[in-house]
Amino acid sequence: MTFRHKHLLGIEHLAPGDITEILDLAEQYVDLNRRPHKHSDTLAGLTQINMFFENSTRTQASFELAGKRLGADVMNMAMQASSIKKGETLIDTAMTLNAMHPDLLVVRHPHSGAVDLLAQKVNCAVLNAGDGRHEHPTQALLDALTIRRSKGRLHRLSIAICGDVAHSRVARSNLMLLGKMENRVRLIGPPTLVPAQFAEFGVEVFDDMREGLEGVDVVMMLRLQRERMDGGFIPSEREYYHRYGLDAEKLALAKPDAIVMHPGPMNRGVEIDGEIADDINRSVIQEQVEMGVAVRMAAMELLARNLRAAQPESVEV
């Protein structure tokens, strides 16, 4: 056992061994989740609080299910509706919750770095469920598990990440994880959404989608946020779809067995053609959702192990 982290704040701090350990453990939970009896007692007695300062249906449901299947007591707090509106600061909210002795805190926040800040102030293990445009580590891990299961490996693959990379925490976590596991990453999008400076991260940047998709093993699409239109990043949805929407013609340039991924929720007809999203031979979008629960179970189990090992004294990692 090598995973020694107290929190899961981002992919940045994980070693390749940590990533493999999470994925290996997650495989076991994939099996468990497919059985009629889906329950384990790994987290029995522990309290998990999901604090979402930003709307989320899927990620929150996935974390909730993961905690419940492991036997934790799970509570959801919709933070955008509560104390923040009353002017309480993030730290105060964290201290209040901390006083209730949670063991696992799952946090999503609209500002980059907010989850790191919160983790400094509480005693429990913190999982980043997405902070601003910084990181979304469990998404990258579930993507990695999906790729590993489809392709049989998680190294020496050519992977294209397409769309609004600049504002995407999913893209950041993914390009870090895929880089650590020694894959070739390409970023595809208009230069307003994929600034050239990403090339400094050792990835290739393309503004021509056809060129970028040439011969890739994996096509990872990103969601186009509607508010990007107002920001003047792209001229219109239809021009975006024409140039950067994934359709059969563009996908034909990738390897014949290339898989198509999307973190959801999809805008059909904006970044992805509906038929491709539904094509069971190419699209692994539903499998990504399934892997999400398993990966989150694995991550929480590893953090809980370290939490228990550290008691009664807490140890900083």
CB crowding 161-183: b at 16 or more within 10 Å, else e: bbbbbbbbbbbbbbbbbbebbeb
Maximum separation of any 2 CA atoms in the chain, in Å? 59
CB crowding 187-207: b at 16 or more within 10 Å, else e: bbbbeebbeeebeeeebebbb
48 annotated as ligand-binding: no
The yes or no reply on residue 229 touching another protein (CB under 8 A) is: no
Amino acid sitting at position 144: A
In the region spanning residues 93 to 152, those forming contacts with another protein, defined by CB under 8 A, are 109, 111-114, 116-117, 131-135
177's tokens: 């994880």
The yes or no reply on residue 286 touching another protein (CB under 8 A) is: no
Give yes or no for a contact between 147 and 218, defined as CB atoms under 8 angstroms apart: yes
What is the per-residue binding string for another protein in 5-24, x denoting contact by CB under 8 A? -------x------------
Binding piece for another protein, criterion CB under 8 A, among 140-148, 185-193, 196-204, 291-299: 196-204
**Shortest Å, Cβ 172 to another protein:** 6
- Surface-to-core class of residue 35, CB atoms within 10 Å of its CB (0-12 exposed, 13-18 middle, 19+ buried): exposed
- Decide whether 116 or 217 has the Cβ nearer to another protein: 116
The yes or no reply on residue 198 touching another protein (CB under 8 A) is: yes
In the region spanning residues 243 to 272, those forming contacts with another protein, defined by CB under 8 A, are none
**Shortest Å, Cβ 152 to another protein:** 31
80 annotated as ligand-binding: no
Q: Which of 6, 69, 148, 169 binds another protein (CB under 8 A)?
A: 169
223 annotated as ligand-binding: yes
Distance separating alpha carbons of residues 288 and 293, to the nearest angstrom: 9
Question: DSSP label at 198?
Answer: G
Whose structure tokens read 């013609």? Answer: 249
34 annotated as ligand-binding: no
**Shortest Å, Cβ 64 to another protein:** 24
Torsion of CA 251, 255, 261, 267, to 10 degrees: 0
6 annotated as ligand-binding: no
The yes or no reply on residue 236 touching another protein (CB under 8 A) is: no
59 annotated as ligand-binding: yes
| Residues contributing to the site for another protein (CB under 8 A) | 12, 89-91, 109, 111-114, 116-117, 131-135, 169, 172, 195, 197-198, 200-201
